[in-house]
Amino acid sequence: MRKTFFVSFFILFSVAVFSQSIERKIIIQNGNYFFTTIDENHQLATLHTGKYTDSIRSAKKLAMPVGRNFDDPIIPFSWDVVDTNLYAVSFLLHPLNDRNEAIKRLLISSLKEWSKSPTPMELINLSVDMNPFVYNDPYLFVTKRSNILEGFFYDAISNSDGTYTMAISNNGELSVWNYNGTEWKHGEVIKFPVDGYFSLFEKNKKTYLISNSSVIHEVSTNGVVSTKKNIGTTLKEGFLVINKDEKTISFMKNDDLNQKTPLNELIAKKAKLIL
């Protein structure tokens, strides 16, 4: 029965993979692209990767022992790629999954393409047993501050200086956190009503938050400052394109995604430079 279950899952996964939304962004690094999708049944993440000059149809599809929850509202999968590592906030719903241990660091070369092994259940069990990159103090702080989650969203990125930044909101408040490899530090909790999820990105060693309503803010543990720039549409209509080779940040609509066109050509034609 378990074998039948997996075969059915894999067939469904293979057929539906590009009907799934890209989670937050595409990253271009060292001539390669990376993006993630989430399986709707198990909420496990898949890392898609290939050469920037190739189409996404030919991407390798790497199984990851991390994923997101499916609570309402759904928070998109929080992930980042830096050099040989992938960082992720794994909020998989599982009785043994401790959200205080949700921040993971994976070696990309350790990930395997989807096949008969590992199975989805094996990946979920691996996620539960995996040690955290760092304990999720921002989440612990928010849940101690209030046991009611309302307007709860977060995103996190690994910065070029080797630190790790998370922004987290709840009940109309936002706090920005930075982990320097030894300890977390955070700024003051500020009033920051949100109308949906937000995403973080880095540009010229500064961290920015783009809200669902498209407004871009510069954020740090020192505070939040609006840049008065926006992308002119909601985040759910597309995804960020973080080109670490060319040091550009763009936004591309979901409707403009084409599986057959080389990604570099597609981005040049369809993506809107935002910063």
Picking from 55, 19, 58, 56, the residue whose alpha carbon sits closest to that of residue 37 is 19
Residue 17 has φ and ψ, to the nearest 5°, of -60, -40
Q: What is the mean pLDDT of residues 222-226?
A: 94
- pTM for this entry: 0.91
C-alpha–C-alpha distance, residues 122 and 52, integer Å: 31
Q: How many domains does the chain have?
A: 1
CATH code at 216?
A: 2.115.10
Encoding tokens for residue 18? 């590009």
Predicted confidence band at 205 (pLDDT cuts at 50, 70, 90)? Answer: very high
Q: What is the mean pLDDT of residues 77-105?
A: 92
C-alpha–C-alpha distance, residues 50 and 170, integer Å: 37
Encoding tokens for residue 45? 């993440």
Tracing tokens 């043994």 back to the chain, one arrives at 96
C-alpha–C-alpha distance, residues 203 and 196, integer Å: 23
**pLDDT value of residue 19:** 56
What is residue 237's DSSP assignment? G
Range of the domain at 114: 2-273
